[in-house]
Amino acid sequence: MAMALFSYNFGWGNRETIMLLWMVTLILPCTAAAGPSAMFVFGDSYSDTGNVEEAFPFRSLSEKLPFGSTYFGAPAARFSDGRLIVDFLAFALGLPFIDPYFKNIEAQYGHGVNFAVTGATACDIYDGDTCNITGVVPFPLRFQTDQFKKFKLNVNATTGRRASGCLDLKLPSADAFGRGLYFIFIGVNDMISGFVQLSAPMDSVKREILRAISKAIKELYAEEAREFVVLNIPPAGCFPELLNLTGSSIRKDSSNCLITHNQVIREYNAQLHKSLQYLQKHLRGATIRIVDIYQFTIDAITHPEDYGFDKTRTLSACFDKSTEKACSRPDKYISWDGLHFTDAFCNHLVKQMLFYNKYVLPPFNLTGDSVGKIE
């Protein structure tokens, strides 16, 4: 199954080369690599690859077609028509798709674990946070990092009992935690809840998200994490679902996005940047990359032709939740369902950040030997 999965042409390189490289990875699992040997993912529905379906089965739209139809040809436990940002990033770094933590059959954690859960927040309603958010799943960022710590303890406890660590593809190697890439993309649910539920002053919401992310990075650093990728928050004021919820009297900019909503998010993103710069200076040996998904989304909206998007559909969703039917060309859309992104959008973002060194600081500086090198 693994070889068949990676025999697809991603549009980033020669099909046969990708198959060969993946086969070599299967044959030589202990071969040292220049890039991260594993990915550990924390977040919400923008990164969830199956946790919410395992925790709350038969309740999610992502369990039905047309979700997953573009790439997988079937529902794939993702809130998209295809792959997510973490999927493209893993591929580009020479890793397979990262299995969810709650996967209970044939889980393969040799290349990392995905702890992200749909509906998760950065704010921790169980720890006295002042966000006052209701209706969220019980897996805030703190719970996810705690699950990582428990997973690491369990892996380390099995090390001495494994017949051969090199041949055990189901669990990370002993050095994977120190050589892994730690991916954090969270805060959208906090923001949207603040906008829609008016649960707390937005300054409080911003402060709690920043506090939670900073705490998570420090705790993961104490567990050997050294390489981080943190995404800021995209312009929710341009999300079709939020636009549909607001009246025509709400102020909008020249792109028809909600001015106040995006202003709050820009303020948060600037604060996040400063917070990560501070951590970068004080966490010795760490590299903290910040991905500016906010600006990429704005650029895709204002210059859709650069990415093959339909200029008349930049603020429209491909999938209609009321009819549960999708458009015929998801690749022409930025938004899949009004809140989440299409496979095409995620593809373009990862190409820009990895191979053109745009929308990410510091850059990745991938070499010519990268598995997912663009054509």
Q: Which residues are part of the catalytic machinery?
A: 45, 337, 340
**Per the structure block, which two tokens stand in for 312?**
């008349």
Helix 202-222 × helix 141-158 angle, to 10°: 10
64 half-sphere exposure, CB direction, 13 A CA radius: 10
Let me know how long the chain is.
375
Cβ atoms of 6 and 19 closer than 8 Å: yes
Q: Round to whole Å and give the CA distance between 272 and 285.
A: 20
- DSSP 8-state symbol, 236: G
Nearest-10 Cα torsion for 260, 266, 271, 272: 130
Pairing of strands 227-231, 325-326: unpaired
Instruction: Find tokens 């710069």 and name the residue.
Output: 277
For the residues of 310-374, what is the DSSP string, one character each? -TTSTTSBSEETTTTEE-S-GGG-SBSSSSSB-HHHHHHHHHHHHHS--SEES-----TT-TT--
Instruction: Find tokens 């969270």 and name the residue.
Output: 186
